[in-house]
Amino acid sequence: MKKLFVLLLFILMFLFVIGAFWVGTANDTTLDSTEPTPPTPPPPTPNYLHGFDIVKPYKTVYIEGEILDLTGFEYYVTYGAMYSDGTYEELSRGKVEYGNMIFNLADKPFINNGKPIDEPLTVDDKYVNMRLRYHSGGSGPDGCSIAVTVHARGDVNGDGVVDDGDLLRLLQYLSGWDVEIAPGADVNGDGVVDDHDILRLMQYLTGWDVVLGAVAPETT
């Protein structure tokens, strides 16, 4: 009988210890509930690009026959990386020297006989854009365009043709009328608009063998 009592007491004590452990475990709030760290995504993939930006020359309006003036002009080529996540990083930016440029003065693609930009070029009335390309060993970015406005010599009213309307506008201007004249009003190219331009334009329109923009030599 005594042994049975001891056995029962031992069983009760064992059940008490097990129950206390279970209750403590159920109430334990210190268990780690941190979510697992997701795997690190691969770095974005770069797509390398090149581009250009320019500082326009001071002079962009010409009368045909003038020499192209690139004073103030600067040309920069940039290289960068556009990443697959949409971000862009500029890697380098460098100024291109004249000797590394070729150009055309035309509203058309580059042609094989593009000239180095440091060679003098006469501006013709058919040219509307100065297109530039950086080249290094025969390759480089396609280039950029600078709009160039060209006025024909003798086109006083700016309508694109030289006719009696220009003579009338020039007469009005020199008579003090409140009218506008285009840069081509300097018909003989001496740098001023005066009666000599009226005479040269009248000669030209009546079929004389004169050239607009060329100052006639003085006669002695």
Pairing of strands 115-116, 101-105: antiparallel
Q: What is the pLDDT of residue 216?
A: 47
Is the per-residue pLDDT at 1 higher than 60? Answer: yes
List, for residues 141-190, the tens digit of each pLDDT value: 556 677 778 888 999 998 888 999 999 999 999 999 999 999 899 999 88
Q: Is residue 138 over pLDDT 60?
A: no
What is the pTM assigned to this prediction? Answer: 0.58
Instruction: Give residue 118's pLDDT.
Output: 61
Q: For residue 214, what pLDDT band results from cuts at 50, 70 and 90?
A: low
- Output 46 or 34, whichever has higher pLDDT: 46
> 62 by DSSP, 3-state: which?
strand
pLDDT digits (tens, 9 = 90+) for 175-185: 999 999 998 99
H or E stretch including 54?
strand 46-55
In this prediction, residue 220 carries a pLDDT of 37
Confidence at residue 211, expressed as pLDDT on a 0 to 100 scale: 86
Residue 20 has pLDDT above 80, yes or no: no
DSSP letters for 94-150: EEPPGGGEEEEESSS---TTPEETTS--BPPTT--EEEEEE-BTTB----EEEE-EE
Which two structure tokens, joined as six digits, stand for 116?
């180095």
Q: What is the pLDDT of residue 112?
A: 44
Q: Which pLDDT score, from 0 to 100, does residue 195 have?
A: 94
Residues 49-87 have pLDDT tens digits of 767 778 888 888 888 888 878 788 888 878 788 888 888
pLDDT the model gives residue 19: 60
Average pLDDT over residues 110-120: 56
pLDDT score recorded for residue 91: 83
Q: How confident is the model at residue 126 (pLDDT cuts 50, 70, 90)?
A: low
The answer to whether the beta carbons of residues 179 and 169 sit under 8 Å apart is yes
